[in-house]
Amino acid sequence: MLDRQLLRSDPDAVKAGARRKGIDAPTSAFLRVDTEFRALRARLDLQRAELNTTSKAIGQLMGQGKLAEAETAKAQAKVLSDAIKEGEADERDLDAQLRAIELQFPNIPHASSPDGSTPDQNVQVREWGEKPEFSFKPKVHWDIGSALGILDFERAAKIAGSGFAVYRGLGARLQRALFNFMIDHHTLRGEYQEVYPPYLVNSASLTGTGQLPKFEQELYRADEDLYLIPTAEVPVTNLYRDEILDTSQLPMKLAAFSGCFRKEAGAAGKDTRGIQRVHQFDKVELVKYSLPESSYDELDSLTADAESVLRELGIPYRVVLVCAGEMGFSNAMQYDLEVWAPGIGAYLEVSSCTNFEAFQARRANIRFRRGQGEKLEFVHTLNGSGVACPRLLISLLECFQREDGGVAIPKALRPYVGADEIAPA
């Protein structure tokens, strides 16, 4: 959520920032309701002051024996009190209207985020690793996985529908090895504290991180006020909702493994073969709470932490600075990590490393105090996948495939898998 004072003082800048994301910001609706809200609040302040004066006068008149005048003052006080109660009810209603409108404003892209609305307008920042060369035509992961008996799409569709996969044998062990390796990688070095969050969250949590109300159609709803998480970002960022932190706690770095559940799995069949886009997947998420003045340094280190997973595995990747129109609704700046998948012949995004600045913290009311007596400020929140399993597994299977149909297992994963390879039968 944006600062209400910014919406009042510079609506043109807000509208321009939203337009960079391809969103029409409701600035006119906000200003109309806000004008009414502020006028009502000013009137209530005057009425409260008048009621206070009248109430004092009643006591004075009673003490002077001016009973008739005191009764007249009491009647005036009753009229004022009733008007104030009615006005306060209207004030609450207008404030709720403002809040509903404010939730529709996207975060403003950072000035250094490039303009654009399509992936090809993202800006490549760096590349790492050598793309593998093969003496044979590389296969796609769905053929590799099916031939090895480690990915079962037919039975997944039978038990759950399209957009799911069953991992079997060494495929299941490799999947488990990936997220165990990643959570160990981030936490055993002492950088991040491990968190294992609930997979169900309430609407207040999803509102805090920005999924609600705008993206409700992409969520799986379990009951009236519980949803399956689309990412561990939601429960981990909301750990400190409505709390006040101390500067000694910042920056706070948390890492969480979770399942993730999303209805959206590709439009009109695009990228839906195999496990490129699925409704359920595993992911290790990195979340940071930061001081405002250091949040962009924290974004750089967060991105480097996510990259370190790919380097340990020896998987070639690139980092792109995402253009404004491709960024998420809540994002101020975003780097994407994309791994190379030689069978598909494309880069696949496995992590989005994002600085939300105070946008999520303002929605979730996460604040900090620099010292005793200092004013409260909103923290800056950041998150990035460290990293997401399905596309990481795609890259691994396709980059480390062999001509005989087997797959070599990266050295860093071998202790977790208990094998050096997945060999054909």
Calculate the average pLDDT of the chain: 96
Q: Which residues face 408 on adjacent strands?
A: 421
Residue 114 maps to a domain: no
pLDDT at 286: 98
Span 161-172, pLDDT tens digits: 999 999 999 999
Active site residue 168: no
Instruction: Note whether 91 and 126 are same-domain residues.
Output: no
Residue 107 maps to a domain: no
- Beta-carbon contacts of 54 under 8 Å, excluding residues fewer than 6 positions away, are 73, 76, 77, 80
Query: In whole angstroms, what is the distance from residue 107 CA to residue 90 CA?
Result: 29
Instruction: Note whether 243 and 123 are same-domain residues.
Output: yes
Q: pTM (2 decimals)? A: 0.94
Instruction: Note whether 67 and 190 are same-domain residues.
Output: no
Span 346-400, pLDDT tens digits: 999 999 999 999 999 999 999 999 998 899 999 999 999 999 999 999 999 999 9
Instruction: Report helix, strand or coil for 333.
Output: strand
Span 199-219, pLDDT tens digits: 999 999 999 999 999 999 999
Active site residue 41: no
From 290, 295, 352, 395, the catalytic residue:
352
pLDDT at 340: 98
Residue 178: how many other CB atoms lie within 10 Å: 25
- Beta-carbon contacts of 264 under 8 Å, excluding residues fewer than 6 positions away, are 218, 277
The pLDDT of 234-252, averaged and rounded, is 97
DSSP state for residue 271 in the 8-state scheme: T
Instruction: Note whether 186 and 322 are same-domain residues.
Output: yes
Residue at 222: amino acid letter: A
Residue 110 maps to a domain: no
Percent of the chain scoring above 90 in pLDDT:
96
DSSP state for residue 402 in the 8-state scheme: -
DSSP of 34-94: HHHHHHHHHHHHHHHHHHHHHHHHHHHHHHTT-HHHHHHHHHHHHHHHHHHHHHHHHHHHH
User: Among 102, 133, 164, where does a domain finish?
Assistant: 102
Span 252-268, pLDDT tens digits: 999 999 999 999 755 44
Instruction: Note whether 210 and 262 are same-domain residues.
Output: yes
Span 287-321, pLDDT tens digits: 999 999 999 999 999 999 999 999 999 999 999 99
Instruction: Note whether 175 and 322 are same-domain residues.
Output: yes
End-to-end CA distance of the chain: 55
Residue 328 pLDDT > 70 = yes
Instruction: Note whether 97 and 123 are same-domain residues.
Output: no
Residue 155 pLDDT > 50 = yes
Residue 11 maps to a domain: yes
pLDDT at 425: 86
Active site residue 349: yes
Show the domain range for 150.
119-422
Active site residue 176: no
The band of 403, judged by pLDDT with boundaries at 50, 70 and 90, is: very high
pLDDT at 272: 76
Say which CATH number the domain at 148 has. 3.30.930.10
pLDDT at 232: 98
Residue 113 maps to a domain: no
Instruction: Note whether 75 and 130 are same-domain residues.
Output: no
From 290, 367, 391, 395, the catalytic residue:
391
Query: In whole angstroms, what is the distance from residue 336 CA to residue 122 CA?
Result: 9
pLDDT at 270: 63
pLDDT at 269: 55
Exposure letters 258-271 (e unless 16+ CB within 10 A, then b): bebbbeebeeeeee
Query: In whole angstroms, what is the distance from residue 250 CA to residue 246 CA?
Result: 7
From 20, 262, 362, 363, the catalytic residue:
262
Instruction: Note whether 199 and 327 are same-domain residues.
Output: yes
The pLDDT of 230-255, averaged and rounded, is 97
The pLDDT of 320-336, averaged and rounded, is 98
User: Among 68, 102, 136, where does a domain finish?
Assistant: 102
Give the total number of structural domains in the chain. 2
From 173, 277, 363, 367, the catalytic residue:
277
Active site residue 50: no
Checking phi first, is residue 188 left (phi over 0); if not, alpha (psi -120 to 50) or beta?
alpha
Q: Which helix (H) or strand (E) holds 312?
A: helix 295-313
Span 57-95, pLDDT tens digits: 999 999 998 899 999 999 999 999 999 999 999 999 999
Query: In whole angstroms, what is the distance from residue 12 CA to residue 24 CA?
Result: 12
The pLDDT of 183-195, averaged and rounded, is 94
pLDDT at 267: 47
From 285, 298, 326, 349, the catalytic residue:
349
Query: In whole angstroms, what is the distance from residue 62 CA to residue 77 CA?
Result: 15
Question: How far out from the chain centre does Cα 205 lie?
Answer: 11
The pLDDT of 331-354, averaged and rounded, is 98
